[in-house]
Amino acid sequence: MCATTAFFALTFIPPTADDPVRFMLLASLAAAIFGATKAGFGGGLGMVSTPLMIYACGDPPTALAIMLPLLITADYVTAAMWWRQWDGRNVLALLPGALAGIAAGGAVLALFRHLGAEAGKELTGAALALAIGLLATGFVALHVVRAVRGGIAVFRPGRAHALGFGAAAGLSSTLAHAAGPVTQMYLLPQQMPKGRYVATTVLFYWIINQAKLVPYFALKMVSTGTLGADLVLLPAVVVGALAGLALHRRINTVWFNRLVYGLLGVIGLHLAITSAMALFGG
């Protein structure tokens, strides 16, 4: 039975992965991480999964294509966990900009595919990541300064804020599955209860990830091969989501906010450094 299962799994490993064992270990870890972070912490740390999946697959487009159905699966699992606990008004406010950002991201991917400019696509992604990383790092630094001074006020976003953050989330999500820091910067300062915060991110990602299927299928990024790899990795998503929910229940609101802000700062700094190195030849 175990031998049959192992053979079944090996048949769905993408051809770009030169080491089947490394693929299974790193891809399963990546799937578990974004399942856990979606269910427990609002999805931001899930960005760590993208470089893990790229390293496992050996090819960025293949990694992004494998990740999208897994992200959608995690969205369905976590939506069931947080059903109707979200702030629907926040999601509706973000959606117009997000859909426009997804359309723009699809156009960028189509342009580079037409030109055959894989390097250009990578540079565009790196520039976007650098901008997001710097914004996230500065955002966390500003929060720390305000916390020390005792001057943190609840953020009440307007339509322009929602449109801008939504567009940035849609664009970064389409190009790199990297909407986490953008949505955190929009939602965290509103100081909603931790359960509502996580549930709101769950609903937002549930919608935009399915919308991303349109450009991904249109550009033939998703194939029977990548879907086969998704089938093998599905259990890791479910296990990760259950673990994330358990962790969420064990952390109080104050420490939850500190943890999420801390994760956002680490991710932002990592994004800024790695993307700057990619752009400037470091």
- H-state helical runs in the chain: 2-11, 20-40, 49-57, 60-81, 88-115, 118-149, 159-176, 180-187, 194-211, 213-218, 224-249, 253-280
d(CA 190, CA 168): 18
Q: What is the pLDDT of residue 167?
A: 96
Q: Is 177 left (phi over 0), alpha (psi -120 to 50) or beta?
A: left
Digit-coded pLDDT (tens) for 16-46:
667 788 888 888 888 888 888 877 776 655 6
**Which whole number is the average pLDDT over 186-196?**
88
**Are residues 101 and 167 in contact, defined by beta-carbon separation less than 8 angstroms?**
yes
When mean pLDDT is compared across 16-20, 106-110, 151-155, 225-229, the lowest value belongs to: 151-155
198: number of Cβ within 10 Å: 28
d(CA 253, CA 196): 11
Full-model pTM: 0.78
pLDDT at 160 over 90: yes
